[in-house]
Amino acid sequence: MKTKVDFLPLIDTVVENGFAVCDDFISPDYLAKLRHLIKEHYHEGEFKDAEIGDRFNQTKVNSIRKDEILWLSRGLFSELVNFYSEIDRLVSILNRYCFLSINDCEFHFAVYPPGAFYKKHVDQFKTNDARLLTVICYLNEFWDESYGGELMIYPESGPLRILPQPGRLVLFKSDELPHEVLITNKTRLSITGWLKHKHTPL
Ligand SMILES: O=C(O)CCC(=O)C(=O)O
Ligand SMILES: [Fe+2]
């Protein structure tokens, strides 16, 4: 992650359109490191079938999503230090310029094996409005249109198809933007997370 992304224009785009796409968020070298990390832990069998619902009400519904995930935490892998420091930089700019009060985040690695998908949904739970912004970063080495696995987003201006290109970052408002992952023909790798507002008692 050598060249730092200018987050301000991206944030402006999210404010205006509800979503933004940024290429080259992650440099090729760092991307290779993260890809190695996700593959290593996937092959060691540490990933679980993803579920739907919030933490207190999880159900496995593989007609809705078929990805496999590994929840991350800050201290878990030293390779993620640079990633988290860029997320912290994004959060401090968001809080300063958009008067948000993001004070928490959660991320997971996601692997979509061939045949996997995630049906159309919105990321914010009915029972919990903590998730403010969704952040997705694709860790694939290469992606061709013929592989499928596109992220389809459904803003008011009309549907858009986003390919999971290496190092690409997608940001959107978690409570507003319906989206889905179309069936992939190749293994599809990503790190996905949510910037959250955790209510703290006074
Ligand atoms: O990987 C993607 O492109 C989207 C994943 C997603 O929608 C989710 O995990 O909630
Ligand atoms: Fe989602």
In angstroms, the CA 168 to CA 31 distance is 10
Write down all domains in the chain, each with its CATH number in brackets: 7-196 (2.60.120.620)
Q: Closest Cα partner for 123 from 38, 48, 192, 23?
A: 192
The model's pLDDT over 4-42, given as tens digits with 9 standing for 90+, comes to 899 999 999 999 999 999 998 999 999 999 999 999 999
What torsion do the CA atoms of 91, 26, 149, 158 make, to the nearest 10 degrees? 50
In angstroms, the CA 184 to CA 198 distance is 34
- Ion ligand 2 residue ranges (Cβ < 5 Å): 123
Q: Is the CB of 169 under 6 A from ligand 1?
A: no
For residue 121, the ligand 1 atom closest to its alpha carbon is: 7
Locate 133 and state its tokens: 């912004």
In angstroms, the CA 96 to CA 92 distance is 6
Q: Is the CB of 191 under 6 A from ligand 1?
A: no
Count of CA atoms in the C-beta half-sphere (13 A) of 125: 13
User: Rounded to the nearest whole angstrom, what is the distance from the C-alpha of residue 137 to the centroid of ligand 1?
Assistant: 10
Q: Is the CB of 181 under 6 A from ligand 1?
A: yes
Please give the pLDDT value at position 54.
64
In angstroms, the CA 86 to CA 157 distance is 30
- Mean pLDDT (the chain, rounded): 92
The model's pLDDT over 135-146, given as tens digits with 9 standing for 90+, comes to 999 999 999 999
**ipTM field:** 0.99
The model's pLDDT over 77-110, given as tens digits with 9 standing for 90+, comes to 999 999 999 999 999 999 999 989 999 999 999 9
Q: Is the CB of 118 under 6 A from ligand 1?
A: yes
Q: Is the CB of 171 under 6 A from ligand 1?
A: no
Q: Is the CB of 65 under 6 A from ligand 1?
A: no
The model's pLDDT over 32-67, given as tens digits with 9 standing for 90+, comes to 999 999 999 999 999 999 887 765 666 767 788 889
For residue 108, the ligand 1 atom closest to its alpha carbon is: 9
In angstroms, the CA 168 to CA 136 distance is 8
